[in-house]
């Protein structure tokens, strides 16, 4: 704001603090719940102060899991989630940056057709094509494998478009200068385009990592074997217990752990992330 009036300042801060509270309070509750023993919830109320079972709860979840509801240790599930999130993010970025490069810098037959086909897939997110995709993955024998978990999610029209936009802002003269400097198509890609898109790649990585980590429906469908469970689907599995009370302390501990990696990614890549989204100078 241009004006610097104390009233407005206070108001702005009030709104912000309110926003933070609204977002942070449930997380606080989740954390508190994960520090109590399983019996503390029977009253139907969740306590607001920390309990004494923190270490025990987290260690149990990480090392042994919850055998009663078929949950493998969380460390394994987190590893699965990590593999899935990383493969999806890196795969999406690699494939879409290459296809954007082809679309922007090369004149080949059916270039426009290729462009439009990619464009149309924007209208078909995973949820829409989930049955045929499941069938294909099943027929290829990829159920309960990392490949089945990740490959169907890797193609990305959105990322292709983002890189296309980035490449279109790079002046043609740069490509021409590189041609005169003796850089062929591969060299131009590695030496010029890739480093120049660094910030955008980082920003996209953050978004895609979180997207991959938070996948729920797809892993739920194609994993039947506990060794390939991911943590986000695991939470739901734990809450769905028949004939007994859900063990909220364990569920909340899982939720907190599931939240950590995306938060860490955001914290550590924040600078690049913001740069990648706002940078205009080329």
Q: Hey, which residues between 196 and 235 contact another protein (CB under 8 A)?
A: 196, 198
* Spatial distance between the Cα atoms of 139 and 127, rounded to a whole number of angstroms: 19
Which residue from 182, 243, 244, 280 is in contact with another protein, where contact means CB under 8 A?
182
Place of tokens 């002046």: 171
Can you tell me which of 18, 177, 263, 264 binds another protein, judged by CB under 8 A? Answer: 177
Q: Shortest gap between Cβ of 196 and another protein (angstroms)?
A: 6
Q: Is 128 helix (H, G, I), strand (E, B) or coil?
A: coil
**Among 268, 259, 149, which Cα is nearest to 205's?**
268
- Candidate ranges 2-10, 89-97, 171-179, 259-267; the one touching another protein (CB under 8 A): 171-179
Which CB sits closer to another protein, 103 or 178?
178
Q: How many residues of this chain interact with another protein, rule: CB under 8 A?
A: 19
d(CA 57, CA 53): 6
149, with CB counted inside 10 A (0-12, 13-18, 19+), is buried
Closest to 178 (Cα-Cα) out of 193, 160, 198, 157 = 193
Instruction: Pick the piece of the chain touching another protein (CB under 8 A) from 71-79, 85-93, 94-102, 168-176.
Output: 168-176
* Smaller CB separation from another protein, 144 or 279: 279
- Choose one: 126-134, 145-153, 192-200, 212-220; the region binding another protein (CB under 8 A): 192-200
Give the C-alpha distances (Å, rounded to integers) separating 194 from 52, 89, 186, 233.
50, 16, 11, 35
Binding site for another protein (CB under 8 A): 171, 173-174, 176-183, 187, 191-192, 195-196, 198, 281-282
């Amino acid at each position: 704001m241009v004006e610097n009036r104390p009233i407005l300042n206070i108001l702005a801060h009030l709104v912000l603090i309110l926003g933070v509270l609204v977002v942070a309070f449930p997380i606080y509750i989740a954390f508190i719940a994960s520090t109590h023993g399983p019996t503390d919830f029977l009253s139907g109320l969740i306590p607001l102060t920390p309990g004494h079972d923190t270490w025990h709860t987290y260690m149990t979840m990480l090392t042994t899991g919850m055998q009663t509801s078929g949950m493998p240790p969380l460390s394994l599930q987190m590893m699965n989630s990590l593999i899935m999130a990383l493969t999806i993010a890196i795969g999406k970025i690699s494939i879409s940056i290459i296809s954007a490069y082809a679309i922007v810098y090369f004149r080949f037959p059916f270039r426009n057709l290729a462009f439009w086909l990619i464009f149309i897939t924007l209208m078909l997110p995973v949820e829409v094509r989930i049955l045929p995709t499941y069938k294909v993955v099943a027929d290829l024998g990829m159920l309960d494998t990392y490949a089945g978990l990740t490959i169907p999610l890797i193609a990305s029209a959105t990322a292709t478009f983002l890189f296309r936009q980035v490449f279109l802002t790079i002046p043609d003269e740069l490509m021409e200068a590189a041609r005169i400097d003796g850089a062929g198509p591969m060299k131009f890609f590695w030496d010029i385009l890739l480093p120049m898109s660094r910030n955008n790649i980082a920003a996209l990585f953050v978004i895609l990592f979180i997207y991959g980590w938070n996948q729920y429906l797809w892993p739920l469908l194609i994993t039947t074997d506990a060794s390939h469970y991911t943590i986000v689907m695991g939470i739901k599995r734990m809450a769905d217990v028949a004939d007994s009370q859900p063990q909220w302390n364990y569920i909340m501990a899982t939720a907190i752990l599931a939240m950590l990696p995306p938060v860490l990614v955001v914290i550590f890549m924040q600078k690049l992330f913001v740069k990648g989204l706002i940078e205009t100078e080329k």
